[in-house]
Amino acid sequence: MLPWWSGLMMTWSRRFSPLTGVRLNGEDNGVEREPAVVDETKSFTRVLGTPSRTARNRDRSVNTLLERCNAERSNGADFPTVWNKILKTHNLVTGVPVQAIENGESVLKVRLITGHHLVCGPNGYSLE
């Protein structure tokens, strides 16, 4: 069952859009709008930082993650330990490990937000 005010909101939203100030049936509601002007000098990359700096930081983070995984492996940790201790909560990791076969060997691949895969194989961790 919907709340009592849901019918009012649905009726109101069908008649008037608060974001544009324009009635949705085409009437202008007395609000004059100017066409949008795009300023080419201001972009999201300028606000958030240059793409090269962001890419460098991301690459640095991926390399740090790879080094941490290989350090844990050299200390005798198996994949489930590395997964629970490092990868599971890391902000670059998206999704769960997927098993694959490469060059006749079973490997585990973990997808990263950068588009790379962190591969755990018999020779250690690597990037793909």
Q: Does a structural domain hold residue 61?
A: yes
- Mean local confidence (pLDDT), 39-68: 68
Tell whether the model's pLDDT for residue 123 goes beyond 70.
yes
What pLDDT, on a 0 to 100 scale, did the predictor assign at position 57?
80
What is the pTM for the complete model shown? 0.57
84 or 7: which carries more pLDDT confidence? 84
- Does residue 33 carry a pLDDT above 80? no
- Is 48 a residue whose pLDDT tops 50? no
Residue-range definition of the domain harbouring residue 53: 48-127
Structural domain count, the chain:
1
pLDDT at 105: 93
Burial of 11-49, coded b for 16+ CB within 10 Å and e otherwise, reads: eeeeeeeeeeeeeeeeeeeeeeeeeeeeeeeeeeeeeee
* In a domain? residue 17: no
pLDDT digits 0-9 by tens, 54-70: 777 887 889 999 999 99
**Does residue 56 lie within any of the structural domains?**
yes
pLDDT band at 46 (very low <50, low <70, confident <90, very high): very low
